[in-house]
Amino acid sequence: MGDQSQRPQRRALLDRYGRLHSYLRISVTDRCNYRCTYCMPAEGMSWLPRKDLLHYEEIARIVAIFAGMGIRRVRLTGGEPTVRRDILSLVRSLGKIPGIEDLAMTTNGHLVAPLAPALKEAGLRRVNISIDTLDPQKFAAITRGGQLGAVLAAIDACRTAGLGPVKLNMVVIGGENESELLPMAQYVLERAEDTMLRFIEYMPFADRWHRTVSAEEIRQELSKEFRLEPESYAGPGGGPAKYWLAWHPSRNIPLRIGFIAPLTEHFCASCNRLRLLADGSLRTCLAHEKTPNLRDLLRSGASDPEVEAVLRQIVLGKPAGHESQTEGGQNFEGIMTAIGG
């Protein structure tokens, strides 16, 4: 891989629309111990063979090359990243790469509670935990067998370990959990000093399985109990959420709520993200599936400068955005669990 710390900073990673890329999401596996209804079908999934996955050394090499081009933030996703064997060793490797300022993970939380201290020690800075309901039975139904208690324990463990601010991600699904917006906000309000809440619009992949609830509809519901104020806060990690402060009469500090609205409040024009899939494909846009494969490039013996040249060419071809809408339009390509969001 070479000593990246001794290399001069190279020119910024820009696409043809002038967007500067500083954020890399890495799906370390397409496998998951949950089977959420909005993420994958109930059956018929075929998982990547182990030989087709990027090795940890290959992931670290790609990240080091990207770091030389200005990537500063890295997020580990899946599938579920904690189901991949020895995930701590990957966290340690990435945490040592010069130029990487923020290393985070998005997880369903099921296996995280006992791992939280070790993840922090290995170099992880923050976690996002997916939680779509506080009702145990509804949680089991949405996740097709998940255990709410394990996720709640993970939230507490990550807060204690200092993996914060802990961000809780709730995908809002019309007719399924939209009645729980206020209970979820109340739950996070009690932990507002080190916990944030983000509401995410459902994004249709392949078939449109559910109804999208817009960010504006969510804010209208929250306004029944909270006074909302928009703010310019970008959040740690520089992600796509637009943040609001939610004030409640019972507390003298506000709850910070992020809204990720890819369908009704597009953020494509300011997108700074790239997605490295578990098989080595580099996806420049969440909506488009056809992507070149870096795994084959690395295993063919390409040098770091050759890899860098290919990366720049891929990013240069990044599309302007997606064409999906709350009703109609073009659905996102692929299966969410293989992309990492």
Extents of the domains making up the chain: 4-338
In angstroms, rounded to a whole number, what is the distance separating the alpha carbons of residues 34 and 79?
9
Please state the rounded mean pLDDT for residues 118-127.
98
- pLDDT value, residue 332: 46
In angstroms, rounded to a whole number, what is the distance separating the alpha carbons of residues 79 and 3?
31
Tens of pLDDT along 211-269? 889 999 999 999 999 999 999 887 666 678 899 999 999 999 999 999 998 888 777 88
Q: Is the dihedral of CA 42, 77, 340, 255 positive or negative?
A: positive
- pLDDT value, residue 2: 43
Domain 4-338, classified CATH 3.20.20.70, yes or no: yes
Q: Answer whether 196's CB lies under 8 Å from 184's CB.
A: no
Q: Is the dihedral of CA 249, 250, 256, 258 positive or negative?
A: negative
- pLDDT value, residue 263: 81
The long-range contacts involving 327-333, CB below 8 angstroms and separated by at least 24 positions, are 330/287, 331/204, 331/205, 331/206, 331/207, 331/208, 332/203, 332/204, 332/205, 332/286, 332/287, 333/205, 333/206, 333/287, 333/288, 333/289, 333/290
Q: Which two tokens stand for residue 264?
A: 């009704």
- pLDDT value, residue 53: 97
Share of the chain above pLDDT 70, in %: 87
Q: Answer whether 316's CB lies under 8 Å from 17's CB.
A: no
Lowest mean pLDDT, pick from 36-40, 90-94, 322-326 = 322-326
DSSP state of 336: G
- In this predicted structure, the answer to whether residue 336 has a pLDDT above a threshold of 80 is no
Q: Which two tokens stand for residue 174?
A: 């019309």
- pLDDT value, residue 323: 52
Q: Which residue has the higher pLDDT, 141 or 37?
A: 141
Please state the rounded mean pLDDT for residues 86-94.
98
- In this predicted structure, the answer to whether residue 176 has a pLDDT above a threshold of 50 is yes
- In this predicted structure, the answer to whether residue 168 has a pLDDT above a threshold of 90 is yes
- pLDDT value, residue 206: 55
* Phi-psi label, residue 127: left if phi above 0, alpha if psi -120 to 50, beta otherwise: beta
Please state the rounded mean pLDDT for residues 105-118.
98
β-partners of residue 68 are none
* Phi-psi label, residue 78: left if phi above 0, alpha if psi -120 to 50, beta otherwise: beta
pTM, full prediction: 0.90
- In this predicted structure, the answer to whether residue 76 has a pLDDT above a threshold of 90 is yes
Nearest partner of 132 among 108, 110, 111, judged by Cα: 108
In angstroms, rounded to a whole number, what is the distance separating the alpha carbons of residues 304 and 115?
33
